Amino acid sequence: MTRVIDEIQQLDVKGLQCPMPIVKTAKAMRELASGDVLQVFATDPGSVKDFAAWAKATGNELLESNAIDGVFRFVLRKR
């Protein structure tokens, strides 16, 4: 079965401290269907490592991880 993604879900966790970006992301991911993509924006520098480890541990795919002007952007695909 295929599912059409009409828009990428966004989550803004800027200003939140570790581990809240992960907690909020885990909650948001639960609302999505398998294969859906979530784009997360965070400012906590620790989140770079945390998102990589979280994706690995939960089996979700981290498609992108980059930083623009002090804002970290993570793109995740739900497994």
Partner 1 sequence: MKAKIVVLGGGVGGTLAANTLVDRLGDAASVTVVDPTGMHAYQPGYLYVALGQANGRWLGRDERTLLHKRVDLVIETADRIDPVARTVRFASGGSIDYDYLVLATGSRTVPEQIPGFVGAGQEFYTLAGALRLREELRRFKGGRVLVGVTGIPYKCPPAPVEFVLMLEDQLRGRGLRSRSEVTLLSPLNRAFTVEAASKLVQPIFERRGIKLSTFFNVEAVDPAKGTVSSIEGEEAAYDLLVLVPPHRGQALIDASGLGDQGGWVPTDRNTLQHKTHDRIFVIGDATDLPISKSGSVAHFQAPIVASRIAALVKGQVPQQTYDGRVMCFLETGGRRATTLRFDYAHPPVPPRPAVLWHAAKWMFNRMYWHTVPQGRVP
Per the residue annotation, which of 11, 16, 18, 28 is the catalytic one?
A: 18
- The secondary element (H helix, E strand) that includes residue 42 is strand 37-42
- CB of residue 17 vs partner 1: minimum separation in angstroms? 4
- CB of residue 64 vs partner 1: minimum separation in angstroms? 20
Question: What's the rounded Cα separation, in Å, for the pair 16 and 8?
Answer: 22
* 28 classed as catalytic: no
Sign of CA dihedral 50, 55, 56, 61: negative
The residue (of 7 and 35) whose beta carbon lies closer to partner 1 is 35
Give the residues lining the site for partner 1 (CB under 8 A): 17-20, 22-23, 26-27, 30, 46, 50, 53-54, 57-58
Sign of CA dihedral 30, 7, 11, 76: positive
Active site residues: 18
